Amino acid sequence: MDYTQAKQRIEQLREILWENNRKYYVENAPTMSDYEYDQLMRELEDLERAYPEYASRESPTRRVGSDLETGFVKYPHQYPMLSLGNTYNIGEVEEFAERASKSLDIPFSYCCELKFDGTAICLTYRYGRLFRALTRGDGVMGDDVTANARRIANIPETLQGEGWPAEFEIRGEVLMPYESFERLNRQREADEDPLFANPRNAASGSLKLQDPEEVANRGLMCTLYHIPAGQVDFPTHDEALKAAARWGLPVSDERRLCKDIEEIEAYIAHWDTARKELPYATDGIVIKINEMDAQRQLGYTAKSPRWAVAYKFKAEQALTPILSIDYQVGRTGAVTPVANLEPVFLSGTMVKRATLVNEDQMAMLDIREGDWVYVEKGGEIIPKITGVEESKRVPGARRPPFPTVCPDCGTPLVKPEGEAKWFCPNNDGCPTQIKGKLVHFLGRKAMNVLAGDATVDQLYNLDLVRTPADFYDLRESQLVMLEGWKERAARRFLDSLRESRNVPFERVLFAIGIRYVGETTARDIARHFGDIDSLAAASKEDLLSVPEVGEVIADSVYRFFRDERHLEEIRRLKAAGLQMSVSQTVGRVSDALDGKIVVISGNFSVSREEMKALIEANGGKNSGSVSGKTSFLLAGSKPGPEKIKKAESLGIPVLDEDAFRKLIPEGTASATVTEESEPTLF
């Protein structure tokens, strides 16, 4: 791999990992397994070591994912909440133990614990009462979910016993037991709401609800496993947790003290089987150095403690026959093969269907009709087929033919260059794609209208709705005449449509459903152009000046706005009263940088995300590349030499951080937690 290829792969991996972080932490809808994610992270770590000139403080190898959301007050963690190094190889656990032995000059032991598959939480108790509960957030700042934490039954409002400090933090996970998860999904199915993929996603989504009373109904539980060093004065991690248990805090009693690697391996072997009997999800074992003095000696990397490692269990697997194969068309036109299975219980849920991904994957597995297949939930998330048990194959079983035309509208399928999937190109005429786009438009992350798949199916089949704009032409008198509609249901639906007129432009743009334009990209594009008319008139070069927008996205957006059908739809949505420009007041604290296009490069006293937010808060726009339209290049320490060179060649001013801060009013920059704060686990 040459330097150019290495740089391209590093940038590609960072983009993939940050996007999955957003889906995992914010949307609670991950699209890859933990194992796949960890393998990509390891590849990125190896490349950054081999090519240190491309290392960055903003790399996902050095920063934890973020679950920060709008709608919550944010507070800094007293100590950053870091992540753990993961391994699926017992040999690497042995290497961890060997490194500890060589590095430490004092006796030490290990404390082994279950790795709970939930969502992280940090509780602060002040004078024996629950004072604050924060999510992990971005590791430095967390969302305040105190009101919701008070509704979790086993989190005590008041501590018991004596000996607790006047103020301290304790960290752990909020979990949703399997029983609560099944009950919640049954209710969501009845309400036509999207189902949660697994208990972890359900727990995370529940903890971020705006209604604490609804949180109380979700059946959540909490387990705590770490008090940051310096918060309490105990010689070992285990003794700190025993004290927490005496104070009435929900600490797991399944941990074990181990003196050597043989005892660690025995603990892992036991729980790899015994975890299947637990009422909640676990996905591995955490091995920690038990003695606090030893932890302090070993210290931390930028992202993880050196005194702990997580061993991840291999995904649970089951063997079951394929009953049939469906070919599903998504809203983007992608055709995905899905196997219908003899139902099998796996990782806490009953699995009836599993993706076969694409035609290439089917060929690689050599799938035949009636095959018995191995199914697993990668990272306990999405069921997928990983192999075939050929000993159970019926003689003469044939390979299922992949369709050559759309299974819904009959249009010949196409396979774009560089894509692994086949697509139906009939984007605006294929019924399944149309309905998928309508469901997407109404979704919670888009227009947040109270309707689901069944409503869209009914309205589409009755020819009442064909495009999103049609929703805004519906009347109560029409709806109450339909099967299953009462006056109350019709009013709720129409009221939510009325409220959607207040949804900000960023989400409207996401809701429209331009291919490759996700939630984050829609926000960046909306803020860059300001309004729909400017965006519609943009050239490909204009689109490429938006940070994180590459050739594929730019081409998709450009072509979308060159289609007269799409322009007519935009005109109708605008006439319906939807927001088609960015609010000038949202997040704005001054107009000091109004009209300025700023490119940032290098490291600053705050994170790059905070610096970008500061530019936008003062009216400026961020761009990812230097061009003739750039107002100035904001250069921190170790800026990219190519950007400096290009700015100088174009006569673009280069400002350092001090000069930049003189351009904006005092007091507009929020205080940040510096990296000198003592780090701690979780």
- pLDDT tens readout for residues 440-479: 999 988 999 988 889 999 999 999 999 999 999 999 999 9
- Return the sign of the alpha-carbon dihedral for residues 475, 565, 507, 450: positive
State the span(s) of the chain assigned CATH 3.40.50.10190: 597-661
In this predicted structure, which of 499-508, 530-539, 623-632 has the lowest mean pLDDT?
623-632
State the span(s) of the chain assigned CATH 3.30.470.30: 74-312
State the span(s) of the chain assigned CATH 1.10.287.610: 3-54
Q: What is the mean pLDDT of residues 272-294?
A: 91
Query: Could you give the C-alpha distances from 535 to 426, 525, 542, 630, in angstroms and in order?
Result: 24, 8, 9, 18
Contact present, 286 and 308 (Cβ < 8 Å): yes
| pLDDT one-digit tens code per residue, 133-146 | 999 888 888 899 99
Q: Is the pTM of this model over 0.75?
A: no
pLDDT over 50 at 559, yes or no = yes
Distance between CA atoms of residues 157 and 155, nearest Å: 7
| pLDDT one-digit tens code per residue, 191-223 | 656 677 788 888 998 998 878 888 999 999 999
- Return the sign of the alpha-carbon dihedral for residues 539, 543, 545, 550: negative
Contact present, 81 and 36 (Cβ < 8 Å): no
Pairing of strands 74-76, 141-143: antiparallel
Contact present, 168 and 125 (Cβ < 8 Å): yes
In CATH, the number for domain 3-54 is 1.10.287.610
Distance between CA atoms of residues 29 and 198, nearest Å: 9
Q: What is the mean pLDDT of residues 153-161?
A: 93
Q: Give the CA-trace dihedral at 187, 190, 192, 194, to 10 degrees.
A: 40
> Which alpha helices (H) appear in 51-159, and where do they start and end?
90-103, 146-149
- Which fold is adopted by the domain 597-661? Rossmann fold (3.40.50)
Contact present, 416 and 334 (Cβ < 8 Å): no
In CATH, the number for domain 317-422 is 2.40.50.140
- Which residue did the predictor score with more confidence, 171 or 81? 171
pLDDT over 50 at 673, yes or no = no
- pLDDT recorded at residue 70: 59
Q: What is the mean pLDDT of residues 23-27?
A: 60
State the span(s) of the chain assigned CATH 2.40.50.140: 317-422
Domain 446-575: CATH architecture, name and number where available: Orthogonal Bundle (1.10)
- Which residue did the predictor score with more confidence, 590 or 400? 400
SS3 state of residue 20: helix
Displacement of CA 322 from its chain's centroid (Å): 31
Q: Does domain 74-312 have CATH number 3.30.470.30?
A: yes
Distance between CA atoms of residues 138 and 648, nearest Å: 35
Residues with a known catalytic role:
115
HEC profile of 155-223: CCCECCCCCCCCEEEEEEEEECCHHHHHHHHHHHHHCCCCCCCCHHHHHHHHHCCCCHHHHHCCCCEEE
